[in-house]
């Protein structure tokens, strides 16, 4: 059943809404709480039935309905589960074009509402306004009425003005969240949280890491994919004198050579088609901080030469530039390949290798530090139990045994994914063996099984005895040995029990 708001406020009270909203956005940094309060005030002030405030997610370009009032449950569920993207449907178009839309009658019939479920809302009046912060659309404010509604110009002007403090609230909340995450990261890596280790090999590595945090020389981290190379690099950075400066991570294999060069070193206006302005590169962004180059072996010979110059004198040329740029950046490189072999094959410069390999850290694969698997498993179990609001507190002995004996080709990343899956599928407060993937169980059982000659012989003898119903004479004939030999073997098996 639809709810209907009161009629608009009297003219003398209209401008007080802006003051109320301005006070509201300054009360808290909890964005949902702020937007819920603001939307309630706007609905009462406008005398409309319902409303929504969307916030644009810059990463996914989705329209997130952070606050909504008096919409049909089906509409809310659709907008939340199947989010509109910028450029789609009505609100996405408003965000993309930065233009308001006012529909004074039969709004639900407007073809710009491409979501069929919105027809069920039976909107008669609709007003959608872009919300801006620093000249950029950060959200959309929508107000709705289900019966004919008269919107005068003064009321619309006040509604437009109300979007300004809303935009400020969204921007402030985003800045706060960014700062909070940075602080959390510094605290986490400063305390080596997330680096779960009990094995002698990892203890030695962490001891080395603590010794080299403030050494300005380059570091080369070796390790298979998923062993935690970036985690170690971040721990080094956030425990160093550079901790308040940027940590910039780049996967050299993820970008083609031309794009990687412009990303790392930047470019000048006119360097290539589309270079309309000068652009800073990641080395400039990381000035006085740390640059983490993952899969460094993927860099082309040209980029290796430029990186060598940065290591030697801290200078480089932007793409298309002639004036050297100077930076002070500590470089931590990482590789999951044998760089010595790449040098022999002329795919990696020997002089660059020696510049990078001043301090070397070899991260062991998970199968070589199996004593850490129970600790890591319980860490990830607690992490994902909290994330999905489940109370998974234990793991069965046979399940942890299976995890310990699995060879882990994907290392810690693979273990984390499997534990997350187990937390999701378990129906109790305990992860059981059957909650683990079938492929893991088959491989782990095969690896853990005793394949010694004596064990195989024992299994075969007992299998034949079972086939003969325990008749030792018949079993001896089937095995091709005399009864005395069979008896001695059975006696030795008993003595080793």
The CATH number given to whatever domain includes residue 111 is 3.30.450.40
Instruction: Find the CATH number of the domain harbouring 423.
Output: 1.10.8.60
What value, to the nearest 5°, has the Cα angle with vertex 97 and ends 92 and 101? 75
Closest CA to 330 of 259, 251, 236: 236
DSSP state of 319: B
- In this structure, the answer to whether residues 335 and 424 fall within a common structural domain is no
Domain boundary among 313, 330, 364: 364
- In this structure, the answer to whether residues 224 and 342 fall within a common structural domain is yes
Helix H or strand E encompassing 38: helix 31-46
Judge whether residue 179 has pLDDT over 80.
no
CA distance 164 to 357: 53
Q: Per residue in 211-226, pLDDT tens? A: 888 888 899 999 999 9
CB atoms within 10 A of CB 411: 21
413: left (phi over 0), alpha (psi -120 to 50) or beta: alpha
- In this structure, the answer to whether residues 479 and 376 fall within a common structural domain is no
Note whether 361 and 212 are within 8 A (CB): no
- In this structure, the answer to whether residues 156 and 18 fall within a common structural domain is yes
Cα–chain-centroid distance for residue 244? Answer: 22
Closest CA to 335 of 360, 355, 316: 360
Closest CA to 236 of 251, 253, 221, 252: 221
Q: Considering only 4-18, 171-185, 422-436, which range has the smallest mean pLDDT?
A: 4-18
Closest CA to 376 of 414, 416, 436: 416
140 Cβ contact list (under 8 Å, min separation 6): 52, 53, 54, 56, 63, 91, 94, 95, 128, 129, 130, 131
Closest CA to 423 of 465, 390, 460: 390
- In this structure, the answer to whether residues 254 and 379 fall within a common structural domain is no
Q: Per residue in 370-386, pLDDT tens? A: 888 888 999 899 989 98
Q: Per residue in 257-288, pLDDT tens? A: 888 999 999 999 888 877 788 888 999 999 99
Instruction: Find the CATH number of the domain harbouring 462.
Output: 1.10.10.60
- In this structure, the answer to whether residues 215 and 358 fall within a common structural domain is yes
Give the model's confidence band at 191: pLDDT under 50 very low, under 70 low, under 90 confident, else very high.
low
Domain that holds residue 442: 367-448
* E strand segments, 255-347: 290-294, 315-316, 325-326, 330-335
The arithmetic mean of pLDDT across residues 186-213, rounded, is: 77
Cβ-in-10-Å burial (0-12, 13-18, 19+) of 322 comes to: exposed
- In this structure, the answer to whether residues 290 and 167 fall within a common structural domain is no
CB atoms within 10 A of CB 439: 9
Closest CA to 303 of 340, 333, 274: 333
Report the number of distinct structural domains present in the chain.
Answer: 4
- In this structure, the answer to whether residues 206 and 351 fall within a common structural domain is yes
Give the model's confidence band at 495: pLDDT under 50 very low, under 70 low, under 90 confident, else very high.
low
- In this structure, the answer to whether residues 437 and 457 fall within a common structural domain is no
How would you label 160-170 residue by residue, b for 16+ Cβ within 10 Å and e otherwise? eebbbbbbbbb
At 351 the pLDDT is 94
Instruction: Find the CATH number of the domain harbouring 249.
Output: 3.40.50.300
At 198 the pLDDT is 77
Look at residue 393 and tell me if it is in a domain: yes
At 346 the pLDDT is 92
Helix H or strand E encompassing 251: strand 247-251
Judge whether residue 496 has pLDDT over 80.
no
Judge whether residue 311 has pLDDT over 90.
yes
- In this structure, the answer to whether residues 166 and 252 fall within a common structural domain is no
- In this structure, the answer to whether residues 304 and 389 fall within a common structural domain is no
- In this structure, the answer to whether residues 48 and 122 fall within a common structural domain is yes
Q: Per residue in 290-310, pLDDT tens? A: 999 999 999 999 999 999 999
């Amino acid at each position: 059943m639809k709810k209907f708001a009161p009629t608009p406020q009297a003219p003398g009270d209209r401008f007080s809404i802006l003051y109320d909203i301005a006070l509201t956005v300054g009360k808290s940094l909890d964005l949902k709480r702020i937007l819920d309060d603001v939307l309630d005030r706007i609905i009462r002030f406008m005398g409309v039935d319902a409303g929504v405030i969307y916030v644009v997610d810059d990463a996914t370009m989705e329209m997130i309905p952070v606050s909504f009032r008096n919409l049909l449950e089906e509409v809310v569920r659709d907008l939340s589960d199947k989010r509109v993207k910028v450029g789609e449907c009505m609100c996405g178009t408003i965000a993309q074009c930065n233009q308001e839309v006012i529909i004074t009658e039969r709004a639900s019939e407007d073809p710009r509402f491409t979501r069929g479920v919105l027809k069920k809302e039976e909107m008669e009046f609709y007003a959608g306004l872009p919300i801006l912060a620093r000249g950029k659309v950060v959200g959309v404010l929508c107000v709705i009425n289900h019966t004919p509604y008269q919107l005068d110009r003064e009321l619309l002007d006040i509604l437009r003005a109300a979007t300004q403090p809303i935009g400020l609230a969204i921007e402030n909340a985003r800045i706060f969240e960014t700062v909070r995450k940075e602080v959390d990261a510094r605290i986490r890596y400063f305390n080596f949280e997330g680096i779960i280790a009990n094995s002698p090999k990892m203890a030695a590595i962490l001891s080395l890491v603590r010794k080299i945090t403030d050494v300005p020389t380059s570091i080369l981290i070796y390790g298979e994919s998923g062993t935690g190379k970036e985690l170690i690099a971040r721990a080094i950075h956030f425990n160093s004198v550079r901790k308040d400066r940027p940590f910039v991570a780049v996967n050299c294999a993820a970008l083609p050579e031309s794009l990687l060069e412009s990303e790392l070193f930047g470019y000048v206006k006119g360097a290539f088609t589309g270079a309309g302005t000068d652009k800073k590169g990641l080395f400039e962004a990381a000035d006085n901080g740390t640059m983490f180059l993952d899969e460094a072996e993927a860099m082309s010979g040209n980029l290796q030469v430029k990186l060598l110059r940065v290591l030697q004198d801290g200078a480089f040329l932007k793409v298309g530039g002639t004036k050297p740029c100077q930076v002070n950046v500590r470089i931590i490189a990482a590789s999951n390949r044998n760089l010595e072999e790449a040098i022999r094959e002329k795919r990696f410069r020997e002089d660059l290798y020696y510049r990078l390999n001043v301090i070397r850290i070899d991260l062991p694969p998970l199968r070589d530090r199996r004593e850490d698997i129970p600790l890591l498993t319980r860490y990830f179990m607690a992490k994902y139990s909290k994330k999905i609001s489940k109370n998974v507190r234990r793991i069965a002995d046979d399940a942890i045994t299976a995890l310990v004996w699995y060879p882990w080709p994907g290392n810690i990343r693979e273990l984390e994914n499997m534990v997350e899956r187990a937390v999701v599928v378990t129906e109790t407060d305990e992860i059981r063996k059957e909650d683990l993937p079938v492929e893991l169980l088959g491989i782990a059982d095969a690896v853990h099984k005793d394949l010694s000659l004596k064990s195989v012989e024992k299994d075969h003898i007992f299998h034949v005895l079972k086939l003969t119903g325990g008749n030792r004479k018949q079993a001896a004939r089937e095995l091709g040995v005399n009864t005395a030999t069979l008896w001695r073997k059975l006696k030795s098996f008993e003595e080793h029990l």
